[in-house]
Amino acid sequence: MPWSRFDSNYRAPAGERDLAFVDAIREATDQAMCLDPRVFAMGLDADDKFGVFGSMRDMTHPERILGTPISENANTGVALGAALTGMRPILINLRNDFLLVAMDQIVNYVAKWQSMFDGQCAVPLVMRSVIGRGWGCGAQHSQSLQGLFAQIPGLKVVMPATPYDAKGLLLSAIKDDSPVMMFEHRWLYKNTGPVPEEMYTIPLGQGQRLHEGSSLTVVATSLAAIHTLTACEQRGLDVDLIDPRTIKPLDMDLILDSVSKTGRLLVVDYDFPFGGVAAEITSRVCEQAFDRLREPPQRIGFPEANMPASGPLERAYYPTPDTIGERIERWIGVEVCA
Amino acid sequence: MSTAELDTINPADALRMLRTMRVARQMSQRIAKLYPTDVMETPVHLCIGQEAVSAGLCCHLTDADQMLLGHRTHAPALAKGLPLRKLMAELYGRTTGCSHARGGSMHVFDPEHGLPGSSAIVGGSIAVGVGAALSSKLSGSDFISVSYFGDAATNAGVFHESMNFAALKQLPVLFLCENNGLSNVMPVAEHAAYEIAGVASQFMPVFRADGTDALSVYREAGKAVRQVRETRAPVFLECTTKRWMKHQGHERDDLEINPIDPVTDCPIARLERFMIGASLITPREILALAKEIEAEIDDAIEFAERSPYPQPEFVEA
């Protein structure tokens, strides 16, 4: 299996129980469905025995898991209708590229329904989708479109990087009375880390510091956060690493606090660069803490080009812990490490 | 129409339909009159000529039944129970409107009467109606839903996707096509290479009614709604009707392809003739009803006019 090659080195500090990222998603979904009969899941292959890369297998309530035709636009409208009339749907898309088929429903309907009616209704709808490059999957199966959706008022966007966050953020998303999109990087699925058995939530809009340092603030999302952490640990980089966990709402307090300390900002977000999450964070820091910056901010993301398929091109296209680490070393040097 | 219709209609329902249609008609006429003064800063898609469809349908629905509308909202929303005051205040952009001045003419909302919202991107709300039916099924509830749309919405892929979904999952939803024969200014023959009911019949049972005849709609909608409730599965009802006004705005339609006969095409005149013939109402009573409704419209306008506009800081709420 090609996926087996894509295991990041990241391991969270040992806890009572280690769980894989994918199992944390499965556990959160199962516990939510057991807790609340209004919670149900739907999507192409959601009810398949492999269950969305394992995240939906062996569920306690299969009667509330609906396999759907590959009609993403209608599926999204159906989920909205169910959310408006008392249910709490989890709509799953196997790859976020398929969200684009449902842009009308996501942008014109789901995102706007509450504000068009002045918040008189709840829209407790979770839209899970998988992001990440594949095995020569090419331009239509490798995108990370968080920036596109974060631009739309009315959508919350979460991107867990650790198993702990995957469970806590998904439960927060299911609990929330507004639409939440969760982007899950496929390469994180096998990562393991401590995850409590009981249900817990992580506030939407609360980031975390993954690595302590004083020379450079790196804000990194999802797999990019894990890649940056790997670079920091392998190279001993003096980096203050912030994982916002939620793209929208964004924990600007935590980011500004870090930039105030380091005076330098690098944003690592695996998405197209033009007008994306990295551009937004960079722009906000410039607007709100320009006087704290000692040097111009920098960004790492995808090139301004669509994804290639061939192995050598893929390896040239995607950032890695090494390319991130080298960029940081070139900037702040290696000798200043804590 | 013959008095044989009397066997199929409850006199109270006939009166209810007449009142519902007259409220929609008289309000639309008032809007058309006021519209050039710009007191309503919102597009209006008037329902004149099409009132029988929602009036006949809604006789068979309860407040618990959910109805998802498109952009042409006024008559169906009023028929489902949206108070006149709340609709008028929304058109006037006031905070007392059904959507608190955030929706406008195309986005009406009244959950107490089974209106969870409406949408102006043609076709999409069909899927939302199917979702309400899924809710009913998953929660073990009794209510049904109605996806209410026009003939042009059948051009959208989501129409076909939604029928497929509802049929596959056996959901209690009525697909109500109010076919006025026009997509903006394009006749149905030019926008659909298929026969709408023919396409629908591949997914579910189909009923058809004359949408300019309230009694025909009442009868066929009654059968269709009953079948949805009994089978808990989707049913299609197509009501052919005529749009008297332009797609949007206060002016009469003047398309050659859309000739209107104000007597034979008028659902209100047709029902009134029938009711007078069947001794269900007198001309004098109709006049009194019309006056009563005018007073209600006066009240709704007065309510809207004295209601506050939203404050500018409301823009980021």
**Residue A236 DSSP code:** T
At A98 the pLDDT is 96
CA distance A110 to chain B (A): 10
Beta-carbon count within 10 A of A275 CB: 13
Burial of B63 (0-12, 13-18, 19+ CB in 10 A): middle
Chain A residues with CB inside 8 Å of B139's CB? Answer: 37-38, 86-87
- A40-54, A228-242, A305-319: least confidently modelled range: A40-54
Q: Please, which pLDDT band fits residue A48 given cuts at 50, 70 and 90?
A: confident
Region B45-66 average pLDDT: 97
Return the residue of B nearest to A40 by Cα. B138
Q: Please, which pLDDT band fits residue B40 given cuts at 50, 70 and 90?
A: very high
At A337 the pLDDT is 46
**Residue A16 DSSP code:** S
Q: Where are the alpha helices (DSSP H) in chain B?
A: 11-34, 51-58, 74-80, 84-91, 124-138, 157-169, 188-191, 196-200, 214-231, 267-277, 283-306
Indicate the residue of B103, B133, B165 with minimum beta-carbon distance to A74: B165
Indicate the residue of B102, B128, B158 with minimum beta-carbon distance to A81: B128
CA distance B227 to chain A (A): 22
What residue has token string 């919670």?
A39
Domain coordinates of chain B in residue numbers?
A: 3-243+256-305
CB B150 within 8 A of CB A94: no
User: Strands B186-187 and B206-210, how do they pair?
Assistant: unpaired
Q: Are B161 and A69 inside 8 Å of each other by CB? A: yes
Region A284-303 average pLDDT: 98
| Cis peptide preceding A249, ω within 30 of 0 | yes
- pLDDT above 50 (res B181): yes
At A13 the pLDDT is 53
Return the residue of B nearest to A125 by Cα. B131
Query: Percentage of chain A with pLDDT > 70?
Result: 94
What is the ipTM, given to two decimal places?
0.95
* Chain centroid offset of residue A149 CA: 12
Q: Which residue has the higher pLDDT, B228 or A335?
A: B228
Indicate the residue of A81, A117, A119 with minimum beta-carbon distance to B127: A81
Q: Are B116 and A121 inside 8 Å of each other by CB? A: yes
Burial of A227 (0-12, 13-18, 19+ CB in 10 A): buried
Q: Are B164 and A121 inside 8 Å of each other by CB? A: no
At A49 the pLDDT is 79
φ/ψ of residue A20, rounded to 5: -75, 155
Return the residue of A nearest to B128 by Cα. A81
Chain B residues with CB inside 8 Å of A71's CB? Answer: 158, 161, 164-165
Q: Are B161 and A74 inside 8 Å of each other by CB? A: yes
Amino acid letter for position A297? P
Region A106-134 average pLDDT: 96
At B22 the pLDDT is 98
User: Strands A156-158 and A88-93, how do they pair?
Assistant: unpaired
Chain A residues with CB inside 8 Å of B42's CB? Answer: none
CA distance A327 to A281: 19
Domains and CATH numbers, chain A: 2-194 (3.40.50.970), 208-332 (3.40.50.920)
Q: Where are the alpha helices (DSSP H) in chain A?
A: 21-35, 72-84, 103, 111-116, 146-150, 163-175, 222-235, 252-262, 277-289, 311-317, 321-332
Q: Please, which pLDDT band fits residue A3 given cuts at 50, 70 and 90?
A: very low
Indicate the residue of A71, A87, A105 with minimum beta-carbon distance to B164: A71
- pLDDT above 60 (res A332): yes
At B2 the pLDDT is 47
Indicate the residue of A37, A40, A104 with minimum beta-carbon distance to B124: A104
CB A268 within 8 A of CB A228: yes
Region B201-225 average pLDDT: 97
**Average per-residue pLDDT for chain A:** 93
- pLDDT above 70 (res B3): no
φ/ψ of residue B221, rounded to 5: -65, -35
Chain B residues with CB inside 8 Å of A119's CB? Answer: 317
Q: Which two tokens stand for residue B84?
A: 């006149």
- pLDDT above 70 (res B1): no
Q: Please, which pLDDT band fits residue A335 given cuts at 50, 70 and 90?
A: low
Contacting A residues, span 49-88, partner chain B, CB-CB under 8 Å: 64, 66, 68-69, 71, 73-87
- pLDDT above 80 (res B311): yes
Q: Which residues are CB-contacts of B66 (< 8 A; sequence separation ≥ 6)? A: A81, A85, B114, B115, B116, B129, B132, B133, B136, B143, B144, B145, B146
At A336 the pLDDT is 47
CA distance B43 to chain A (A): 15
Return the residue of A nearest to B97 by Cα. A117
Instruction: Count A/B contacts: CB-CB distance under 8 Å.
Output: 133
Q: Which two tokens stand for residue B68?
A: 């998802």
At A14 the pLDDT is 56
- pLDDT above 90 (res A9): no
Q: Which two tokens stand for residue A64?
A: 């509330």
Query: Percentage of chain B with pLDDT > 90?
Result: 94
CA distances from A206 to A144, A209, A248, B90, B284 (A): 21, 10, 10, 37, 69
Q: What CATH number has the domain spanning B3-243+256-305?
A: 3.40.50.970
Query: Percentage of chain B with pLDDT > 70?
Result: 97
At A1 the pLDDT is 35
A249 interfaces chain B, CB cutoff of 8 Å:
no
Chain B residues with CB inside 8 Å of A85's CB? Answer: 66, 116, 131-132, 135-136, 145
Chain B residues with CB inside 8 Å of A83's CB? Answer: 131
Q: Are A73 and B121 inside 8 Å of each other by CB? A: no
- Give per-residue pLDDT as tens, B260-292: 999 899 999 999 999 999 999 999 999 999 999
- pLDDT above 90 (res A58): yes
- Give per-residue pLDDT as tens, A143-172: 999 999 999 999 999 999 999 999 999 999
Active site residues of A: 72, 141
- pLDDT above 70 (res A12): no
- Give per-residue pLDDT as tens, A179-190: 999 999 999 999
Indicate the residue of B128, B145, B164 with minimum beta-carbon distance to A77: B128
Q: Is B211 helix (H, G, I), strand (E, B) or coil?
A: coil
At B314 the pLDDT is 79
